[in-house]
């Protein structure tokens, strides 16, 4: 049975306020205050899985105007462990990042590492992908670990069903997700952390709505839509978000997990989503893929060899202010680590520029203008700009 009382009192440092709404969609501009700073939404969270943005220092990350980053419970518990992080005063002091942090619960690894774990109603027995060591995660331990890590926002432990998926498997995953969420809320011990519930249900709209209704009955500080960006089409993602939009509590933050392609961000913002996370800026940056408003660049291509242009005209990032495409291509071809770093910095700034511009356009009631200023957000946009 669902809990009837909160597991942790409300910290006065937290608040969530809707500032503006776009008249032609469900998009909204909001402010989410946390103990480590205020987040303006729609907001994009880059992923620092084990407490680091690969190849990018906290100072460089801050310079991209990133407001909040994401770290991972499963990976941090494997190394260095939550107890070690707690010894150093929590994640913020341990990693040198004084802005907000969100930690996921390890629930995604229940899906992504399914071949090396065993799931039951009690929890999940993992076999470490690093050295084979055993790790047990359940609702209580995942919450306790996140309490020790000390992030501003923590997530319920959940089960993400694979795609494609039969109805019975989805029902089992939803039932576990809801029961685990209730256990997470009861286990939550810190008043200076907000706890978000996660809506699962695959591509089954009825199961999604049922999961959301039951989570709302339990009551959380915010609600995330999980289990997307796992192989569904853009259109299928939009269909799920459309089905959930009217039932997601309007007064609470709404978070779409793991989604980061520009066209997906725009479509989801139109449907009232406030927060996003994805590995794309840095993962693609390490692989010589640069995001721009008009479309991506592949920086190993010969077309950039003699180019004196920045990665993107008009971009104000450190990379574009100081280096040419020709030099960045040279770094990748020579195997120099600076190439991935410079491209990651640009990509991180690209996503923050995109989200900042969407916030501005929501405020003026002109969100659709983003399709002109950032054509890459158009659902039909394909291809790269390497032949420009």
Mean per-residue pLDDT, 231-247: 97
pLDDT at 388 over 90: no
Alpha helices by DSSP H, the chain: 58-63, 73-78, 82-87, 91-95, 107-112, 139-149, 167-187, 205-218, 234-245, 262-270, 280-286, 318-322, 325-333, 338-364, 370-373
Task: Of 127, 103, 104, 105, give the one whose Cα is nearest residue 114.
Answer: 127
Please tell me the number of Cα atoms within 13 Å of 373 on its side-chain side: 17
Fold for the domain defined by 15-278? TIM Barrel (3.20.20)
User: Is the Cβ–Cβ distance between 276 and 42 less than 8 Å?
Assistant: yes
Q: In angstroms, rounded to a whole number, what is the distance separating the alpha carbons of residues 110 and 94? A: 26
pLDDT at 198 over 80: yes
pLDDT band at 12 (very low <50, low <70, confident <90, very high): confident
Q: What is the pLDDT of residue 236?
A: 98
Asked if omega into 42 is within 30° of 0 (cis), the reply is yes
pLDDT at 7 over 70: no
Does residue 18 or residue 130 have the better pLDDT?
18
User: Is the Cβ–Cβ distance between 137 and 143 less than 8 Å?
Assistant: no
pLDDT digits (tens, 9 = 90+) for 274-325: 999 999 999 999 999 999 999 999 999 999 999 999 999 999 999 999 999 9
Mean per-residue pLDDT, 164-181: 97
What residues are labeled active site?
104, 277
pLDDT digits (tens, 9 = 90+) for 32-44: 999 999 999 999 9
Looking at the chain, the whole-number percentage of residues with pLDDT higher than 70 is 96
Mean per-residue pLDDT, 210-229: 98
pLDDT at 114 over 80: yes
What are residue 47's phi and psi, to 5 degrees? -105, 120
Q: What is the pLDDT of residue 1?
A: 39
> Where in the chain are the domains?
15-278, 285-377
Mean per-residue pLDDT, 81-94: 98
* Mean pLDDT computed over every residue of the chain: 95
Please list, residue by residue across 70-87, b when 16 or more beta carbons sit within 10 angstroms of its beta carbon and e when fewer do. Answer: bbbbbbbbbeeebeebbe
pLDDT digits (tens, 9 = 90+) for 325-351: 999 999 999 999 999 999 999 999 999
Q: What is the pLDDT of residue 382?
A: 62
């Amino acid at each position: 049975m669902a809990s009837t009382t909160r597991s942790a009192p409300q910290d006065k440092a937290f608040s969530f306020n809707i500032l503006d709404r776009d008249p032609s969609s469900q998009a909204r501009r909001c402010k989410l205050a946390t103990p480590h700073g205020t987040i303006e939404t729609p907001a994009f969270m880059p992923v620092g899985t084990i407490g680091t943005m690969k190849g990018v220092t906290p100072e460089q990350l801050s310079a991209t105007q990133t407001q909040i980053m994401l770290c991972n419970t499963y990976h941090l518990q494997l190394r260095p462990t939550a107890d070690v992080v707690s010894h150093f005063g929590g994640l913020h002091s341990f990693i040198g990042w004084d802005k907000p942090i969100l930690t996921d619960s390890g629930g995604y690894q229940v899906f992504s590492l399914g071949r090396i774990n065993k799931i039951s109603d009690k929890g999940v027995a993992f076999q470490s992908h690093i050295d084979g060591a055993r790790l047990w995660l359940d609702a209580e331990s995942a919450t306790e670990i996140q309490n020790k890590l000390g992030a501003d926002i923590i997530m319920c432990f959940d089960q993400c069903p694979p795609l494609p998926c039969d109805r019975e498997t989805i029902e089992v995953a939803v039932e576990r997700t809801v029961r685990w969420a209730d256990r997470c809320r009861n286990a939550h011990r810190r008043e200076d952390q907000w706890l978000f519930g996660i809506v699962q249900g695959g591509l089954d709209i009825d199961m999604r709505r049922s999961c959301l209704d039951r989570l709302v009955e339990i009551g959380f500080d915010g609600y995330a839509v999980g289990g997307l960006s796992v192989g569904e089409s853009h259109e299928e993602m939009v269909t799920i978000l459309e089905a959930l939009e009217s039932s997601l509590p309007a007064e609470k933050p709404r978070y779409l997990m793991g989604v980061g392609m520009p066209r997906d961000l725009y479509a989801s913002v139109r449907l009232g989503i406030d927060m996003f996370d994805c590995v794309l800026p840095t993962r693609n940056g390490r692989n010589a893929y640069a995001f721009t408003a008009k479309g991506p660049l592949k920086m190993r291509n010969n077309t950039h060899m003699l180019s004196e242009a920045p990665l993107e005209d008009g971009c104000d990032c450190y990379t574009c202010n100081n280096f040419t495409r020709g030099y960045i291509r040279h770094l990748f071809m020579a195997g120099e680590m600076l190439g991935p770093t410079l491209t990651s910095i640009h990509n991180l700034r690209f996503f923050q520029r995109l989200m900042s511009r969407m916030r501005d356009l929501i405020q003026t009631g002109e969100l659709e203008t983003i399709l002109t200023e950032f054509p890459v957000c158009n659902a039909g946009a394909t291809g790269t700009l390497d032949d420009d």
